[in-house]
Amino acid sequence: MTEEQEVPLVCVDLGSNSFHLLKASHFKGAFRILNKAKERVRLAEGLSDNYELTDAAMARGLDCLAKFREIIGNLPASRVRTVATYTLRRASNGDAFLKAAKAVYPYPIEVISGAEEARLIYHGVSHTQPGNDSRLVMDIGGGSTEFIIGRGLETRRLASLGMGCVSFQQRYFEGGKLSDSAFNNAETAAAQELETIEQSYKDEGWQQAIGCSGTIKAVQGCIQAKWPGESAITLKKLKALRKICQQAGDVAKLKLPAVNDERIQVFPAGLAILIASFKALSIEALTFSDAALREGLMFQMAPGAGHLDPRDRTTLALAAQYHVDRPQAMRVRSKATRLFSQVKKDRELEALLGWAAELHEVGLQINFHGIQRHSAYILENSDLIGFNQEQQLLLATLVRYSRKGLKQFALPRFNLFNDQDAMLMLRVLRLSILLHRRRQNLRLPELTLSLTDDKTLVLSCPAIWLKRHELVSADLHQEVLYQAQAGWPLVIDAKGA
């Protein structure tokens, strides 16, 4: 794809309240909207106390995905990106939904972290509302609310808090009752969530506050209807809307201009979250942005976007945080990506392998003994901006089994990657670490890696070099035994023997 071609792109956001689809064409740096679709799936309503999705909630989601599939048409997977947020992050049986989705929706579904969701929301807002002022962006979703501070296109603080209009409506406005105590309880719960970011966000500061999401759009519509000529959201106006809700007494009796019947069901909970946010963060006024997560995805997918992959930045930052030996990490990365390219042509898998190589020693700061376990724990439990949940799990898995025996090896369940690719990446990473075990910038001979069948790897290297480097030769033969334990044939082919 080039910027001289008109390129159709589709972004799909599987939110906790609604599923959204945005289809646009990109030509010479500009987007033209082709289609928008939205369906209120209420996925979060089907999340039980033990975070299990009900069959009914799954069915609603799958039905919507089948409809979206018809809208997308026959676009290749490279032009469609689908992300899932809070509810599928939390659902204990989320894998069952993703597996069932494959039957009706042939595109990969990425479950993204709260931090990554926040980054994409800010990316969408900042591209549609350019400027260099420091800004606070907030987005109230069905299950979580994101808060971001940034300047220009760069984020400074990212947070995703476990409060959303669907979950709070169920918890604090049971039966649709809109009492004073219900609002107080919801606002108190939101204030408790906000305690974790309140001081640091105030210390960072901002010059402009922007809100996005259906809740904030509905609030702005109410304000424009009640106070003609005004669009800014203020605490005084939010309190006035709360009073209107309380006077209605019940969601079934609540009538608000510019708020449809579907949105009004979760409007009080979203309003309570908004009031608590204004109070905790001392927000003076909030303006509305129609762009958010989907637009962030779209701008990131655009041909010739010309920005550094956020995963590169994340890798560099994490390596610096844990004082990784950078020259050694880059030696291993270079060898791993070069060997992998000889047996598999896949730029995304090669990039993921490279990042795993750069970060395979982050656990060294904890203890050398069991470094692979420490490194895997860090990678699995850190906020790795730019990586979706499965990519993060893949990195942790590669690092976890990058050293020593493989008797207990077990791949986690992946939906975006197949087991054969994951195993191949791991085997190549292990060989690359082994070949650079001396941690010296020594010139290695020309090495060739080939895959003779689905499992058998053949590493070809000069026999004379193996003879001169007895320790490396011994390590390679030990690696043959390790990989054999996991059922992976590895052959060391000594050329010229």
Comparing 1-5, 81-85, 441-445, 451-455, the range with the smallest average pLDDT is: 1-5
Q: What angle do CA 170, 175, 178 make, to 5 degrees?
A: 90
Q: Indicate if the pLDDT at residue 104 is higher than 70.
A: yes
Residue 1 has what pLDDT?
Answer: 43
Confidence tier at 106 by pLDDT (50, 70, 90): very high
- Dump pLDDT digits (tens) for 394-442: 999 999 999 988 877 888 989 999 999 999 999 999 999 999 988 777 7
Q: Indicate if the pLDDT at residue 5 is higher than 90.
A: no
Confidence tier at 443 by pLDDT (50, 70, 90): confident
Confidence tier at 30 by pLDDT (50, 70, 90): confident
What is the pTM assigned to this prediction? 0.86
- Pairing, β 448-451 against β 287-288: unpaired
Report the candidate in 459, 414, 469, 462 with the shortest Cα–Cα distance to residue 432.
459
Q: Work out the average pLDDT over 11-24.
A: 94
Confidence tier at 7 by pLDDT (50, 70, 90): confident
- Dump pLDDT digits (tens) for 190-203: 999 999 999 999 99
Q: Are 197 and 147 in contact (CB under 8 A)?
A: yes
- Dump pLDDT digits (tens) for 270-302: 999 999 999 999 999 999 998 889 999 988 888
Strand ordering across the sheet containing 145-151: 154-161, 145-151, 134-140, 208-212, 287-288
Q: Please provide the average confidence, as pLDDT, over all residues in the chain.
A: 92
Confidence tier at 2 by pLDDT (50, 70, 90): very low
Residue 127 has what pLDDT?
Answer: 84
End-to-end CA distance of the chain: 47
Q: Work out the average pLDDT over 215-236.
A: 92
